[in-house]
Chains A and B, each alone.
Chain A
Amino acid sequence: MTTSMESILDALPRIRNEARSMQDIVLANLVAIGEVPAPYQHEEVRVRMMLERFSECGLQNCSTDATGNGLAILPGAEGKANIFLFSNVDTLADEHAEPSLAFRKDEIVGPFIGDNSMALAAMASLPILLERLQIRLKANIIVMGAVRMLGHGNLEGLSGFLNNSGMPVQYGLSLEGVQLGRLNYACLGQLLCDITVRLPEDYNWVQFGATGAIISMNDIISRINKIPLPRRPLTTIVFGMIRGGVSYRNIARETVLSFEVRSESADLLNQVAQQIKDITEDVAANSGVTVKFDIFARRAPGGLDISHPFVKQMRTIHTALELQSQLYSTTFALTSLIEKKIPALVLGLTTGTRRDDLPEMEEAVAIDPMWTGLAQLVGVLLAIDGGFCDVV
């Protein structure tokens, strides 16, 4: 079908124009999927809606697997290889929240629209775009809305598919709503952790000056923050969430800190984990509170080499689309694929922001860059299908 990488690059402007011409279809998919709430462990309704859209857009075998992922296949002409596209279905939204998208002239605003309704809408729209472009790949395309990916989900949906589907995957593409131009070819090692500080049963509630769980947690945070972290191998700690207490005047009985440790080095991750464990034990011993340190997810660093043809061709496609590839390691979705030795990249589909003027969960994504985002997706699918991403 496509004889050279040059012909793929030459076709990109036409692909982008065709993608732009189906704006209404892409955005309607975005509304249909993005306005269905999908909190962790309650993703069924969004998965059902997504499968409905997959089916209407011409995908086949639309179904859920044992983990609850929504899966569909666009059969290839030969069907000997499988290219795997996926994105997370779950969001960090409250179970009862009813997301509503607002359309502005140049952008769309809504909860978790960039993470990751946009990616799901792109997957649902892809078969129509390929049909309009009269492109039929040799390989099958497997698309999946993955459940239980975020937070305590710990990539469960993705691992479930890779471990149990029995479908060999030759290439993987993790789609993210934002940012267009990102090219994640490797992933950092990662620890997802909770620290829980809880007052003991016999705590003296009426003692004047009693400080409760928050002060002890503050001590822990201060000491974690003083752990020296090297820039090479790059290592960071992200304090993501803290919760505790019930009112202004009641002493907090329990406080929970959720955070992530990231590093390019597995050894460093282990060292930092040990230091944090020491801190929590020390605070528990000195303040009389109960401290529980839980590492509920541990992922090893890894990924493709920057010189891998998959990365190189993706950069070529970006350049042809006048995008500057943003090459950096990510912490998320590549892990499970890398463990299976499957070459995989993370791509962003449009530009987006989490601005001060938007509520905590709301994101804004730009409309016009979406067409470039879809063009890069079709471009890399053609490159994979043509064998231009294979290691020779």
Chain B
Amino acid sequence: MWFKQWLAKRPPAKRVTRPPVAVAAWLQTNTFHHSQFTDLRALVAEKEKQHLTISLCIPTLNEEKTIGKEITVFKSELMSRYPLIDEIAVIDSGSTDKTCEVARTFGAEAYLAADILPETGDRKGKGENLWKAIYQLKGDIIVYVDADIKNIHARFAYGLLAPLLLKPEVKYVKAFYDRPLIVSKDVRVSGGGRVTEILVRPLFSLFFPDLTAIIQPLSGEYAARREVLDSIPFPIGYGVETAHLIDIYQRWGLRAFAQSDLDQRVHRNQSTQALGKMSFGILQTFLSRARALGLIGEMPERSQILRQFQVRDNVYEQVDSLIREMERPPMLEIPAYRRKFKRP
């Protein structure tokens, strides 16, 4: 398993010597609001000063209805007006609609994930697209943005890029979309979606309390430095975001993270059954890491079948879904990648 191999190779000293970081202090220093970064000229100047290139990756599967608008907004605001982004690319899982055609029409590069690093095979899942993007895209920083955002705005990219440009110690910036509002004397509860609050946050509270500082650990928008992305394994399915957080935390600590409030995000709602599948995949990823890190003991062989129920004509039926959280190795282990990017 890639994670175990990766874990064995990572420098263990860093984990031991890492000073503890108080969550409250981190929240103060590493939590931002996109409105802090509206001076795009300043961000472009910072990027140029650091000689950085930035790629925007949009992983897609049948997103023809929203992809055109998303590309147009990013291209206009962050390439034509303010050259913050050097490249916009769609990495597609094999859409049956016109996602790639529409993406190209509006000025993005569009690639089929299956055509990238074909020698490594073709697996289906968002994580696969994110992983292959590391090879395909050129940027020193990659920002990932989902394709289903209806209220798309340039802040979905620059709000994540700014902490990386302005704070050298930050390596990975996560989006969140809810701002705690103080109304009179009441404080509104703020947090993530159902899977976050019911599954991921309780697990982090048990095993990785520092990571509970990440307000929305499952948000699909984040930006990271290449040297981070190419050195961590990528689950190809639902567990990719959870795995990133644990793996980066293990290696670089909470200081490597920042999070940005991007205000409202309007997108498709998922059914409870779909969230059940997501939770099942995340749980697989989490347990494998907890086991490899020695946080839990030996476990019996785990089924990869999720069993859910539906009722048809007053008869209960069990619906079985095979959910296998396979993982891709760190991209640095792929020879073609090392050759392309001249990495040792």
- Residue in B closest to A125 when the chains form the complex, CB atoms: B76
Q: Which residues of A contact B266 (CB under 8 A)?
A: 98, 100
Q: By the criterion CB–CB under 8 Å, are A102 and B72 in contact?
A: no
CB-CB under 8 A from B72, the residues of chain A are: 23-24, 27-28, 31, 103
B150 is contacted by which of A23, A56, A100, A104 (Cβ under 8 Å)?
A100
> How many residues on chain B are close to A (CB under 8 Å)?
24
Q: Which of B69, B101, B151 contacts A103 (CB 8 A)?
A: B69
Question: What's the minimum C-beta distance from B269 to chain A, rounded to whole angstroms?
Answer: 15
- Asked whether A24 lies within 8 Å of B76 as measured between CB atoms, the reply is yes
Docked CA distance A25–B76 (Å): 5
Chain A residue with minimal CB distance to B72? A27
From known contacts A24-B80, A56-B81, infer whether A105 and B101 are also in contact, taking CB-CB under 8 Å. Answer: yes
**Separation in Å of the A366 CB from the closest CB of chain B?**
13
The answer to whether the Cβ of B106 comes within 8 Å of any Cβ in the partner chain is yes
Q: Is there contact, CB below 8 Å, between B75 and A24? A: yes
CB-CB under 8 A from A105, the residues of chain B are 68, 98, 101-102, 105
User: CA of A29 to CA of B77 in the docked complex: distance in angstroms?
Assistant: 10
State which of B76, B101, B105, B151 has its C-beta within 8 Å of the C-beta of A28: B76
The answer to whether B81 and A104 have CB atoms under 8 Å apart is no
Complexed CA–CA distance, A22 and B80 (Å): 8
Q: Which of B66, B67, B76 contacts A27 (CB 8 A)?
A: B76
Q: Which residues of A contact B102 (CB under 8 A)?
A: 103-105
Expressed in whole angstroms, the Cα–Cα distance for A102 and B148 within the complex equals 12
- One digit per residue, 1 when the CB lies within 8 angstroms of any chain A CB and 0 when it does not, for chain B 101-115 equals 110011100000000
B68 pairs with A31, CB closer than 8 A? no
- Give chain A interface residues in 11-45, CB to chain B under 8 Å: 22-25, 27-29, 31, 35
CB contacts (< 8 Å) of A101 on chain B: these are: 69
**Chain B neighbourhood of A24, CB < 8 A:** 72, 75-76, 79-80, 106-107
| Segment 62-110 of B: residues with Cβ below 8 Å from A | 64-69, 72-73, 75-77, 79-81, 98, 101-102, 105-107
Q: How far is the CA of A103 from the CA of B150 in the complex (A)?
A: 11
Q: Which partner residue on chain A sits nearest B150 by CB separation?
A: A100
In the assembled complex, the Cα of A27 lies from the Cα of B68 at a distance in Å of 10
Chain A contacts of B76 at CB under 8 A? 24-25, 27-29
Please name the 5 residue pairs, one residue from A and one from B, whose CB atoms are nearest each other, closest first: A103-B68, A28-B76, A24-B76, A24-B75, A103-B69
13 contacts between A and B (CB under 8 A): A24-B75, A24-B80, A27-B76, A31-B69, A35-B151, A56-B81, A100-B151, A102-B65, A103-B65, A103-B67, A103-B72, A104-B68, A105-B105
